[in-house]
Amino acid sequence: MVSHIRTMFHTQEKRGMRLTSPIKCGRDDAWLGEGYYFWDDLNDAKQWGNKSKRKTGAFEIYRSEIDIENFLDTVFNEDHYRFWVRQIEKAAKVIQLKTRTKPTIKEINEYFKEKALWDEVDGILFQDLPINENLSKVKSFYYRKRIQAVVYNVEKIINFVFHFEGKCN
C-alpha cells in the first residue's frame, strides 16, 4: 500500500513566540500561488531560512506530516507533470494574447485562481534544481531535486511542530 503521508518542513523567520500553525504565503512571486509552503528535505529548508528569512537574523523550521493523496504531483507522476506543463502553457498563451508580453508568475496564478476548476486539488508537489555549487558533491552537476509542496487545504497539514532554529550566516 502506498502511503500518502509525507514528512515536510516549513521555514519561517524567527519570531517572539513559536508558531502553532503554518503561515500562508501570499507573495506575488510565489511559484504556486497563495498557500502553505513546505520543503521535502530539511537541508533545503535550512538553506531557504539562511538565504530568505534574514530580517531577525534567525529562522525556525517546523515539521509536519502532509497528506498528499489529492495533490498534483509534478515531481514523481509523469501524467501530472505533463498536465501541469499544458496548463501553464495554455494560461501563458491566453495572457500573452491579451497583454502582448510574457506573463508574470502573479498573472499565471491569478489566471488559475479565476479560471481553473481544480477544487479537488489540495496542493502541488513541485521541484526545481538548485544551482548552488555548495549543494552539489560534483562540480557543475546539479543532480538533486529541491522538492517543495504548496498546500491549499490546511486540513491536509498534520502535526505541525517546532523542529529546528538556525542563525543566518
Residue 113: predicted pLDDT: 84
Asked if residue 92 is part of any domain, the answer here is no
Asked if residue 87 is part of any domain, the answer here is no
What is the C-alpha to C-alpha distance for residues 14 and 12, in angstroms, rounded to an integer? 6
Domain holding 56, by residue range, is 5-76+120-167
| Residue 49: closest CA among 89, 10, 102, 5 | 10
Asked if residue 93 is part of any domain, the answer here is no
Asked if residue 153 is part of any domain, the answer here is yes
Asked if residue 142 is part of any domain, the answer here is yes
Asked if residue 94 is part of any domain, the answer here is no
| Residue 124: closest CA among 92, 76, 61 | 76
Asked if residue 14 is part of any domain, the answer here is yes
What is the C-alpha to C-alpha distance for residues 15 and 70, in angstroms, rounded to an integer? 32
- 127: Cα within 13 Å, side-chain hemisphere: 17
pLDDT digit string (tens) for the chain, length 169 residues: 567 999 999 999 999 899 999 999 988 888 889 999 999 999 999 999 999 888 899 999 999 999 999 999 999 999 999 999 999 999 999 999 999 999 999 999 999 888 877 778 999 999 987 666 676 667 767 778 899 999 999 999 999 999 999 999 8
Asked if residue 115 is part of any domain, the answer here is no
Number of structural domains (the chain) is 1
